[in-house]
A and B are shown apart, each in its own frame.
Chain A
Amino acid sequence: MILNMGPHHPSTHGVLRLILEIDGENIVRIMPDIGYLHTGIEKTCEAKFYQQVVPLTDRIDYLCPLTNNLCYVLAVEKLLGLEIPPKAQWMRVMLNELTRINSHLVWLGTHALDIGAMTVFLYCFREREDILRLFEMVSGQRMMTSYFRIGGLALEPPLGFFEKVRHFARRFPAKVDEYENLLTGNPIWGMRTRGVARITAEDAVALGASGPTLRGSGVDFDLRRDLPYSGYENFRFKVPVGQDGDVFARYMCRVGEMRESIAMVEQAVEGMPEGPIKAVAPKVVLPDREMMKTQMEALIYHFKIITEGFAVPAGEVYQAVESPRGEMGYYVVSDGTAKPYRVHMRSACLANLQLLPSMCEGRLLADVVAAIGSIDIVLGEIDR
């Protein structure tokens, strides 16, 4: 029987359509059909100035908007050859790790909810509220912050911000213990996730998987540690790696990552350097508002950057970061003008989605939901 798990479905986490060929409860073939959220972001980027693309990037992978910002901004800074001050780099790392925790909380809540553990969902979103308040405090926006700009950060962090982050970082590890209490030793969770949707390391690498999906199968590769960017080489952290390649291994990887991320946030707050938050590049980075209101040159630079953009030397760059889902990359091609010639987003989820047939074919229908949850799919990133 051909069954359509249509784009409107509570468990597909977005508008993912799966065409399932089933024989009783067993899956014979599974074929994802995507494109329901395609909004032509890559095409739109070609019509905007470099700084105008930053708000577009937030909305691609909407569960980790700051990570998208970071990747694009690092790519353009590489094209320009800008030096970013250390405080901006440490703030970027700190907010990036908070975003990782944010995204993993959504993953854990919705994944558990699909499998049937409804309490975990509410617990996770309670912590997520605290993190969203932190984002609102620093940038004015809960989700689509656009806080990282080309050359540094958009605004100075307000007074009292680091105290709040420290307070959250002290409370959070106990919450992860709560989630693990509910799930890790739970026999029902074990029966739904151990041995389910297994994938070997060779298949995962050949199919282009990355992030916890790859690490759950035993491949020890993390872009933050192995190809570091934005000051990650200054941080000490472990990379959790699973061995079995099943849903449970990926779950343990992500829970471990939440613990490591909060430790990194504490390290960032303790060691936050003093200094400017923007690079010194008057033609690229907007001047301070006070200077813009009092000095003529600053006003002219501000006007020119906003209305005409800044020309970026011709060339191309591929910058990849470790998003909560895997390797997110931005390939930016410049032809020397103020608008990017081509911006391509390498989506971690698009590659991870290719694993779904090997994970699910021959297994039960109920395992498809667990498999989709364990890949941690976000359709915004797949469809762009």
Chain B
Amino acid sequence: MALEPAITDLEQLKSHPAIAKLLAWNPVAVQGAKFDRNEISIYVERSLVREACALLRDDADCPYNYLADVTCVDWFPSEPRFEVVYHLLSIPRKERVRLKVRLEGSSPALDSVTQVWSAANYFEREVFDLFGVRFAGHPYLRRLLMPEDWEGHPLRKDYPVEGYR
């Protein structure tokens, strides 16, 4: 089992093109980065997510024009509790990158990226439905998988696996 140790030092990862672009635009945007198992993850500052995504999408060298996925991980009980994860793919350059945004547990909210990629529509609805993260600016933020009148957010860690019935 030959696993190389993860690189979590931002100084060592500054040369990665996506991180370099974000740092050149606004150094506050990148809170940290990780290179693990051949995948790069970038921790983005919460209020700058939408602009960071637009920057990466419109970049000339490596346009991340495809939003593969938006999902969330619940790290209850540690804070910051939620981590919204964006998986981006650049179709011309065949590169993947992962953006992560950390949110607090009480009323987590974030800007929607539907204006950047329309693909975010259903993905963000699903995150809202199953985790309770609100996306500001989403055209139709309603429950997607659970029934309209469901109470609670099933994929949170404090929601039991068997449900409440």
Contact = CB atoms under 8 A, between A and B. Distances in A.
B145 interface: yes
Interface stretch (A160-168, A240-248, A343-351): A343-351
Interface stretch (B13-21, B22-30, B116-124): B116-124
B69 A34 contact: no
Contacts of A315: 6, 36-37
Interface stretch (A57-65, A118-126, A298-306, A327-335): A327-335
Interface residues of A, number: 45
A208 B36 contact: no
Contacts of A281: 1
A276 interface: no
Contacts of A316: 36, 39, 41
B71 A81 contact: no
A361 to B, nearest CB: 14
Give the size category of B's interface with A: 35 or more
Contacts of B109: none
B147 to A, nearest CB: 7
A35 B146 CA distance: 6
A208 B155 contact: no
Interface string A75-92: 000111111000000000
B145 A341 contact: no
A24 interface: no
Contacts of A43: 154-155, 159, 161
Interface stretch (A169-177, A219-227, A363-371): A219-227
A34 B161 contact: no
B31 interface: no
A269 interface: no
Contact of B85 (A82, A83, A331, A351): A331
A79 B3 CA distance: 8
Contact of B69 (A46, A205, A331): A331
Given A35-B145, A221-B91, A350 B161 contact: no
Contact of B145 (A34, A44, A219, A317): A34
B94 to A, nearest CB: 5
Interface in B41-60: 41
A47 interface: yes
Nearest to B71: A344
Contact of A207 (B1, B118, B145, B155): B118
Interface of B: 1-3, 6, 36-37, 39, 41, 65-69, 71, 73-74, 85, 87, 91, 94, 96, 98, 117-119, 121-123, 126, 130, 143-147, 154-155, 159, 161, 163
